[in-house]
A and B are shown apart, each in its own frame.
Chain A
Amino acid sequence: MNEIEEKAVQEKKTLGFWIYLMTDCILFASLFATFAVLRTATAGGPSGADLFDLDFVLAETMILLASSFTTGLAILGVARGFKKQTIFWLGVTFALGATFLALEITEFNHLVAEGNGWDRSAFLSAFFTLVATHGLHITVGLLWLAIMIIRLVRYNFKKTDLNRLALFGLFWHFLDVVWIFVFSIVYLIGGM
């Protein structure tokens, strides 16, 4: 394949992946709508105000935001032609993402241990499902990132891997965009 054809292939893959992200928006929108409707359905149990530790969530948010930034730095490393810079920032992104996930799992554990699991009320079902769906996407992202890092090291930045890296960037940024609304709607508004 020549360069023009390669560019066309890359464009269609980017568009396809972008559209998948747009469909994911709709999936999250359904879960957000559900949460919004069920946010007061606490069945006599605790509400968001009773449960959410906003400082904790602020820390999570900053960590995820930072990881979105470091992703950008990694992709810049590619554009500038510096392999080590790219690998470094991808590694940092992974560490930040893993930390975010660990914090979230800790929060979930805490809630479940106190008897405020997903089966306690409709509100909690909606909370766990929405936040965990985001968390699941993060997990997939981390898996993708790990494989990406290994391949970049092993195969020395093949063009196809660089294309995939750009798509990973879109994915990871997208997850941070969704988190803006999780933070705002679930924790800030839902915790009022």
Chain B
Amino acid sequence: MFDGLKELIFGKLELSDFIHEPIMAGAGIGMLGALFLAMGALTYFKKWKWLWKNWITTLDPKKIGVMYILVSVIMLLRGLADALLLRAQQATNTSELLNSDHFQQIFSAHGSIMIFFVAMGIIFGVFNLIIPSQIGARDVAFPFLNSVSFWLFAAGMILINAPLIVGEFSTAGWLAYPPLSELQYSPGVGVDYWIWSLQIAGIGSLLSGINFFVTILKLRAPGMTLMKMPIFVWSALGSTSLIMFAFPILTATLGMLALDRMLGMHFFTSDMGGNPMLYINLIWAWGHPEVYILVLPAFGIFSEIVATFSGKRLFGYKSMVIALIAITILSFTVWLHHFFTMGAGADVNTFFGIMTMIIAIPTGVKVFNWIFTMYRGRVRFTTPMLWFMGFIVTFTIGGLTGVLMSVPAADFQFHNSLFLVAHFHTMIVGGVLFGAFAGFAYWFPKFTGFTLNERLGKLAFWNWIIGFLVAFIPLYILGFMGATRRLDHYDPSLGWQGLFIVAGVGVAIICVGVGFQVLQIAYSIWKRKENRVGEDPWNGRTLEWATATPPKEYNFAVIPTVTERDEFWERKKKGHQVTPIYTDIWLPKNSGLGAIIGLFALIFGIGVIWHIIWMIILGVLGVIILLIIRLTSDDTEYKVSAEEIAEQELSRSVL
């Protein structure tokens, strides 16, 4: 009877689920320690109310953007720690560091975290911070939805880290192929953690995609036609289009895997008619657009940076737009190249191989346009430009290896080898991560009023690029020679150990780079009074530089009327002077409902993972009731009067 009661309250959860082997336990305790430290500091400095008022309940996209970036940075550190362990294991090639099960959990967590919580987090962070002001708007189209999206993201982040404390993580890789991910071969909670973390965060992503897409289409300042938008906004339009039309495939597929595991269905099982290849087909139909979702905004960021630091307008704006649209549409036509070797015939392989080669072309166009932008420009090699140069080098290498693998026959050698691993890391690190670092250095002064220390930034960059090449070129070589991915040890007689050690050294150099980045931030904050800059430190071209530093909640006291591309640049040239006429502005009121919805989503997630029925019911009911409350309320805005705006505008710093 007590057993029945125990199962009703705790589901599958047992005390033994809290016990982990040393490294994981250490990580879990460390994480909890950091959390308690933060909570202690908040209590000691009496900042809970401030946290609630200014951050948890905010609907200001600039603040939501900061929260996204914060989560991404923390997750980047976790992902890098995972990477360190993986490299260390392969460099030492012993069984004493990580056992196989642990190794598999680590590479699964590493990939899942980096893609869903670092890269996606950065994307949405940058969208939130930059898009509204770049289009001359005050907010996104659906501010409350924006908050919900963030808190669903946060709930997913909690779920993916929870296995360090209770339970275990999936050992099935970042995409959890069946039959391994089915109940029969993964009976524990690992795959369930993976499914629900991604499912919840994924819904947040989908909603955000819709939000920013509508924002771009509907909230542009008067006069800003599509062809006058900053190119970063175009890249966001492409990325959000992909999010909107690809993420539902992920939702459906994860849902079906969950149904297999929870209700005994047979979509992808190896018996009763199930078809594991169907999962692989569907998951990559999402997965390929996903990588373009990640990289297009990075392209956009680089476009802005190259133009600004070359002192020239972007070369070939029109062809850049066409290239973006082409990439967006084409990215739905190449997904089979992720499984050339898994049984399709020559006709299918050929079609997708050719489409893959074709999609490289518009990307090439973009690279040339960036280079032509620099040509005959007055190029300033600031840290953002250095990251751009690093991107050109690494992304080109990665891209070329991609074209190599797009030949199906060749892919039979490279599929699932370390060559593949090196390829996609080159693309994502070289593209997305370097883009994030460049954007961070570029836009940091807009939001803080001081620049990051250039010297430390350059040191960070050089360590990163050298470390990256040292870490991954050996992997290209190893993969070319036949090294399979995801193995925790390789036969020493193959003579590959040296290369693994070199790769390990590379990661260590990257860590030095990360160290410099952390140092850079700390040092720059310490020396911020000496690094004070005004509202337009780089002589920018686009409207976000026309806002105050830091931007007021309403961004623009008067919504600008746009007449040209690079509107801000043109205004500066003409010496545009406006005597502003202020009117009352309506801004969204804060709301804690987004965070609470996230909390109930988290409760639901825990419930389905651990089979705790009451938590499932509570979670679902909570979300539904809160949504109904919000969707039936009409009092969601507050007024900022013209006089208040005039006051705030007067307080803008002049340098």
Answer whether residue A73 sits at the interface, using C-beta atoms and an 8 A cutoff: no
Q: Knowing A30-B248, A43-B272, A125-B267, say if A19 contacts B278 (CB, 8 Å).
A: no
Instruction: Please tell me if the beta carbons of A19 and B214 are within 8 angstroms of each other in the complex.
Output: yes
Residues of A within 8 A of B249 (CB): 26-27, 30
The digit string for A1-43, where 1 denotes a CB below 8 A from any CB of B, is 1000000100111011001101110110111011001100111
A57: min CB distance to chain B, Å: 22
Q: Is A183 an interface residue, CB under 8 A from the partner?
A: no
Distance in Å: Cβ of A40 to nearest Cβ of chain B:
8
* Chain B residues, CB < 8 A from A34: 252, 256, 267, 278, 282
Contacts of A84 in B (CB 8 A): none
> Is A147 on the interface with B (CB-CB < 8 A)?
yes
Contact B256 A129 (CB under 8 A): yes
Residues of B within 8 A of A128 (CB): 265
Docked Cα-Cα span, A34 to B260, in Å, equals 14
Q: How far is the CB of B172 from chain A (nearest CB, A)?
A: 20
CB neighbours of A20 from chain B (8 A): 210
Q: Pick the residue among A31, A41, A143 that contacts B252 (CB under 8 A).
A: A31
Is A70 on the interface with B (CB-CB < 8 A)? no
Choose, from A86-94, A103-111, A114-122, A171-179, the stretch at the interface. Answer: A114-122
Query: Of residues 132 to 190 in A, which have CB atoms within 8 Å of B's CB atoms?
Result: 143, 147, 151, 158, 160, 164
Contacts of A160 in B (CB 8 A): 634
Q: How far apart are B422's CB and chain A's nearest CB, in angstroms?
A: 31
B401 at the interface (CB under 8 A from A): no
Determine whether A65 belongs to the interface, using a CB cutoff of 8 Å to chain B: no
Whether A23 contacts B244 by the Cβ 8 Å rule is: yes
Would you call A100 an interface residue if the criterion is a C-beta within 8 Å of the partner chain's C-beta atoms? no
Contact A19-B244, Cβ < 8 Å, known A129-B265, A147-B628: yes
Kindly report which residue of chain A lies nearest to residue B278, judged by CB atoms.
A37
Among B613-644, those with CB < 8 Å from A are 624, 628, 631-632, 634
Provide the bound-state CA to CA distance between A151 and B265, in Å.
Answer: 40
Q: Which residues of A contact B266 (CB under 8 A)?
A: 41, 43, 119, 121-122, 124-125
On chain B, the residues within 8 Å of A42 by CB distance are: 273
CA distance A141 to B187 in the complex (A): 36
> Quick one: closest A residue to B277, CB to CB?
A37
Judging by beta carbons under 8 Å apart, are B218 and A33 in contact? no
For the residues of A in contact with B, the DSSP-based class is helix
Does chain B have a CB within 8 A of A74? no
Contact of B210 with A12 in the complex, beta carbons under 8 Å: no
A125/B217 in contact, CB under 8 A: no
Chain B min CB distance to A69 (Å): 26
B213 near A: Cβ within 8 Å? yes
SS class of chain B's interface: helix, strand, loop or mixed? helix
Cα distance A30–B274 when bound, in Å? 16
A126 CB within 8 Å of chain B: yes
Q: B253 — nearest CB in chain A belongs to which residue?
A: A30
A140 vs B272: C-alpha distance when bound (angstroms): 32
B542 part of interface (Cβ distance < 8 Å): no
Given contacts A34-B267, A126-B267, contact A27 B274 (CB under 8 A): no
B624 to chain A: closest residue by CB: A143
Interface residues of A, count at CB 8 A: 41
Nearest A residue to B240 by beta-carbon distance?
A19
Q: Does B556 contact A (CB under 8 A)?
A: no
The complex places the Cα of A151 from the Cα of B633 at a distance, in Å, of 11
Contact A24 B248 (CB under 8 A): yes
Q: Which residues of B contact A12 (CB under 8 A)?
A: 141-142, 214, 218-219
B273 interface neighbour in A1, A31, A38, A158, Cβ under 8 Å: A38
For the complex, give the distance between the alpha carbons of A12 and B211 in Å: 10
A31 and B206 alpha carbons, distance in the complex (Å) = 18
Pairwise interchain contact A26-B273, C-beta atoms closer than 8 A: no
A22 touches B273 (CB 8 A): no
Q: Given A15, A30, A164, which contacts B282 in the complex, CB threshold below 8 Å?
A: A30
- The verdict on A16 contacting B141 (CB below 8 Å), with A23-B206, A23-B210, A23-B248 known, is yes
Contact A121/B273 with A1-B586, A38-B267 known, Cβ cut-off 8 Å: yes
Q: Does B400 contact A (CB under 8 A)?
A: no
Q: How far is the CA of A121 from the CA of B320 in the complex (A)?
A: 49
Q: B264-282 vs A: 1/0 string, CB under 8 Å?
A: 1111010111110010001
From A30, A37, A123, name the one whose CB has the most chain B CB atoms within 10 angstroms. Answer: A30
Q: Which of B258-315 contact A (CB under 8 A)?
A: 259-260, 263-267, 269, 271-275, 278, 282, 285
B residues 85-143 with Cβ under 8 Å of A? 141-142
Q: Is the CB of B245 within 8 A of A23?
A: yes
Closest to B272 in A: A43
List the B residue with the shortest CB-CB distance to A150: B632
Q: Are A41 and B213 in contact (CB under 8 A)?
A: no
Q: Which of B214, B273, B631 contacts A16 (CB 8 A)?
A: B214
In the complex, per-residue mask of A79-99: 1 if CB is within 8 Å of any chain B CB, else 0: 000000000000000000000
Is B396 in the interface zone, CB < 8 Å from A? no
* Chain B nearest Cβ from A22, distance in angstroms: 7
**Are B632 and A26 in contact, with the CB atoms below 8 A?**
no
User: B628 to A22, Cβ gap below 8 A?
Assistant: no
B333 within 8 A of A: no
Q: Are B273 and A123 touching (Cβ within 8 A)?
A: yes
In the complex, what distance in Å separates the CA atom of A158 from the CA atom of B272? 54
**Which chain A residues in 31-63 approach chain B with CB under 8 Å?**
31, 33-34, 37-38, 41-43
Which residues of B570-619 are within 8 A (CB) of A? 586
What chain B residues lie within 8 Å of A8 (beta carbons)? 218
**A38 B275 Cβ-Cβ under 8 A:** yes
Contact: B211 with A16, CB < 8 Å? yes
Are A119 and B263 in contact, CB atoms less than 8 angstroms apart? Answer: yes
Q: B251 at interface (Cβ–Cβ under 8 A)?
A: yes
Min CB distance A15 to B, Å, is: 5
Per the bound structure, the CA–CA distance linking A38 and B267 in Å amounts to: 8
User: CB of B247 within 8 A of chain A?
Assistant: yes
Shortest Cβ distance from A30 into B: residue: B252
* Interchain CA distance A44-B632 in the complex, whole Å: 50
Name the distance in Å between B328's Cβ and chain A's nearest Cβ.
Answer: 15
With contacts A20-B210, A23-B245 taken as known, whether A122 is within 8 angstroms of B632 at the C-beta atoms is: no
Interface residues of B (CB under 8 A from A): 141-142, 206, 210-211, 213-214, 217-219, 244-249, 251-253, 255-256, 259-260, 263-267, 269, 271-275, 278, 282, 285, 586, 624, 628, 631-632, 634
What 4 pairs across the A-B complex have the smallest Cβ distances? Answer: A41-B273, A122-B273, A30-B252, A125-B265
Q: 30 A-B Cβ contacts within 8 A?
A: A12-B142, A12-B214, A12-B219, A16-B142, A19-B213, A19-B244, A20-B210, A23-B244, A23-B247, A26-B248, A27-B249, A27-B252, A33-B282, A37-B275, A38-B267, A41-B266, A41-B273, A43-B266, A43-B273, A118-B265, A119-B263, A122-B266, A122-B272, A122-B273, A122-B274, A125-B265, A129-B259, A129-B267, A143-B624, A160-B634
